[in-house]
Amino acid sequence: MKPESLMMSYGYRPELSEGAIKSPIFQTSTFVFKSAEEGKAFFEVAYGLREKKEGEVMGLIYSRINNPDLEILENRLCLWDEAEECAVFESGMSAITTVLLEFLKPGDLVLASSPLYGGTDHFIEKILPKFGIHAVSFKVGQTRDEIMHIVEATGMADKLALVFIETPANPTNDLIDIAGSKEIARHFSTPERNVLLAVDNTYMGPVWQHPLKHGADLILYSATKYIGGHSDVIAGACLGSSALIKRVKGLRTFLGNMAGPWTGWLLLRSLETLKARMDIQAFNAERVAAYLNQHPKIEKVYYLGNLTEADGESFHIRNRQCLTNGGMISFDVKGGEKEAFIFLNSLKLIKLAVSLGSTESLAEHPATMTHADVEPEHKEALSITEKMIRLSIGVENYHDIISDIDQALGKIPLRVESNQEEMQLHLV
């Protein structure tokens, strides 16, 4: 069966919960052992004193370590990406920072794509150096040889431990070749040091892109976004092989940043409609982008569906990696911050908010909001300018979304020659 069908029941046995058709919320902090021997066996495995025996099934002990709602959720999330194992966290940043701290140590080098989500960029550039971990970045569009030269130029190529990419990039929708990034990781790997590739798949996943199939070792999500999708829960997830996720879960246990049962239950609910929601969002985004593409007050539209063969490698990457054009659109208004703010302040249906992937359509100003902490010259180089607006398309009727955008753009004075009149726009 397809994942969307299995989201209703996979990993749950009603007979263990009084026949309830949906998993109850296991709102408990601790679980009762059947015997002292069972408790001893659990702690032996939990603390790495021994490996699990073949066929040995670990019971429940404490909700900081495992909980039925969390376990069912992790099992179901694996289905979308065909991962061996999953770890769910209290936030996307919890997932990202736990991975970075687990697979990097003082003296190591991390290679990161640019742009990244602002929180991730801050942690890599500002926090990791406090622990003696070095970072170097590359821009979208640079060739494999250019990127490898960047690594070698640091003088620390032998210390490279992790390649971290986000594709499509936030907020520009720029694409990075996952398979090509894995080749870079392999190039710098040695028999003693396996360089891992971690992919932030929040913008496209887990329905529209499957990084493990293209060579990624770890997938990361802000599950707050499409997976949760209702602007009512904060969560994150990491997926990969059992060996890698075992390490991630080990650190998670001691950091204490796993999701609780209520979060797990909410996400189980959301998974049931995940594909339906994302299908509608992709459908709506295509029509919104078509409208934006022909508007005289818009300078450029950043949307995967706009890519053609003239865009070279980006076009081919999209065709290889992405199953749809997604639900995210960024665009540059003609003007700057003043014009962008007029637009944002004039929206009525679309909400001015910084998240993405929710049922409601959202709009934000990356340069002064999500990416405010990125160095000004770096933002400029990445096209994250004062005129950029990012849209997360929701599940509303697309005519209503376009109508709201149309009236908000109508508030911006049109910069035209004196003898020109503003063109009349018709809704798609």
Q: Look at the chain and report how many structural domains it folds into.
A: 2
Adjacent-strand bridge partners of 419: none
Give pTM, 2 decimals. 0.90
Q: Tell me, yes or no, whether 220 and 75 share the same domain.
A: yes
Asked if residue 90 is part of any domain, the answer here is yes
Asked if residue 37 is part of any domain, the answer here is no
Which residues of the chain fall short of a pLDDT of 70? 415-428
Q: Which of 271, 287, 307 is the last residue of a domain?
A: 271
d(CA 4, CA 122): 35
Contacts for 128 with CB less than 8 Å, ≥ 6 apart: 100, 104, 110, 134, 135
Q: Tell me, yes or no, whether 102 and 125 share the same domain.
A: yes
Residue span of the structural domain in which 301 resides: 275-409
Q: Tell me, yes or no, whether 234 and 102 share the same domain.
A: yes
The confidence score (pLDDT) of residue 379 equals 77
Q: Tell me, yes or no, whether 166 and 136 share the same domain.
A: yes
Tokens 């289905």 appear where?
A: 79
With residues binned 3-state (H G I as helix, E B as strand, rest as coil), the percentages for the chain, rounded to 5, are: 40, 15, 45
Q: Tell me, yes or no, whether 266 and 302 share the same domain.
A: no
Q: Tell me, yes or no, whether 265 and 386 share the same domain.
A: no
Asked if residue 41 is part of any domain, the answer here is no
Q: Tell me, yes or no, whether 15 and 105 share the same domain.
A: yes
Q: Tell me, yes or no, whether 286 and 188 share the same domain.
A: no
d(CA 51, CA 96): 27
Cis upstream peptide for 296 (omega within 30°): no
Give residue 305's identity as a one-letter amino acid code: G
The confidence score (pLDDT) of residue 105 equals 97
Q: Which of 271, 286, 304 is the last residue of a domain?
A: 271
Phi (first) and psi of residue 236, to 5 degrees:
-145, 170
Nearest to 370 by CA among 54, 96, 31, 116: 116
Cβ 255 vs Cβ 102: under 8 Å: no
Q: Tell me, yes or no, whether 232 and 108 share the same domain.
A: yes
Q: Tell me, yes or no, whether 23 and 138 share the same domain.
A: yes
Q: Which residues of 386-414 are buried (b: 16+ CB within 10 A; e: fewer)?
A: bbbbbbbbbbbebeebbebbeebbeebee
Residue 362: CATH number of its domain: 3.90.1150.10
Q: Which of 240, 271, 302 is the last residue of a domain?
A: 271
Under DSSP, the state recorded for 304 is G
d(CA 311, CA 295): 21
Distance from the Cα of residue 303 to its chain's centroid? 17
Q: Tell me, yes or no, whether 161 and 14 share the same domain.
A: yes
Q: Tell me, yes or no, whether 203 and 311 share the same domain.
A: no
The confidence score (pLDDT) of residue 422 equals 45
Q: How far is CA 229 from CA 260, 361, 405, in A?
A: 18, 11, 22
Residue 228: CATH number of its domain: 3.40.640.10
